[in-house]
Amino acid sequence: MANILGNLKLLKADMEKKGWVIDSFLFKYKNQIFVVLVKLYGENEKRGKYALVKVEFLRQGNLNDSLEVAANSNGFLVNAKTLREYFNIEFNKNLGDILKQFNQHFSSFIPTEVKEIKSSIEEKVMVGSLSRSDKDDPNKIYCFAVRINPLKANGEYGKRSSYNDNKARILRRSLYDKLCDNKHLSFWFSADKNDEKTNDEIICNWARNNKK
């Protein structure tokens, strides 16, 4: 069935419009709850010819039990066995029809736009994914500083990554809103709660350290 996952295309467009590289929603199947991450491909990230986004399923109660697949409006770009085994779909002669039913069921959960109010478990898995994509420790969730990125070879300051941007937007929205217009500024996080600073402390320290 063409465009059975058509909402993914609408969601991707809204994510790009609003500057999000990741979004999440909850999905229920066979009395189990899954956190679903929808992730945009990076500019230089390898992807299949027809891939639109990456979709990662994480089983609530065991977030280490996850499955990431490429997807587009027509469905998941993965072999049927992979989906069947992860979601415990029994094999039978009508498997094709069952997988179509699964896709239709899943499609009813896909939002068409980003909803920025998330559950705590959604925030946790989003931040973890963003940290790993930024080659950072997922346990670093306590903001303690902002810093201008180093100069690049072309003499320009580096821009903060989309992953750092989205992480700050989730964890410290009030601070993010004050400083987000400076694209060369990155937000620094620690795994130690004792390192965390207030917005005023972070802004004051940044202003003091950048006085000429």
Instruction: Tell me the pLDDT tens digit for each residue of 179-200.
Output: 999 999 999 999 999 999 999 9
* Distance in angstroms (rounded) separating the CA atoms of residues 74 and 100: 11
Q: What is the DSSP string of 174-190?
A: HHHHHHTT-TTEEEEEE
Is residue 24 helix, strand or coil? strand
**Residue 93: predicted pLDDT:** 73
**What's the pTM value of the predicted model, to 2 decimals?**
0.93
Handedness of CA 147, 150, 154, 155 (dihedral sign): positive
Q: How would residue 1 be classed by pLDDT, with cut points 50, 70 and 90? A: low
Residue 194: CB partners within 8 Å, gap ≥ 6? none
Provide, for the chain, the percentages of residues in helix, strand and coil under a 3-state DSSP scheme, each rounded to the nearest 5: 35, 25, 40
Phi, psi of 124 (to 5 degrees): -60, -50
Q: Where are the domains of the chain?
A: 7-107, 134-209
Burial of 125 (0-12, 13-18, 19+ CB in 10 A): buried
Give the C-alpha separation, 156 to 77, whole Å. Answer: 39
Mean pLDDT, to the nearest integer, of 33-37? 98
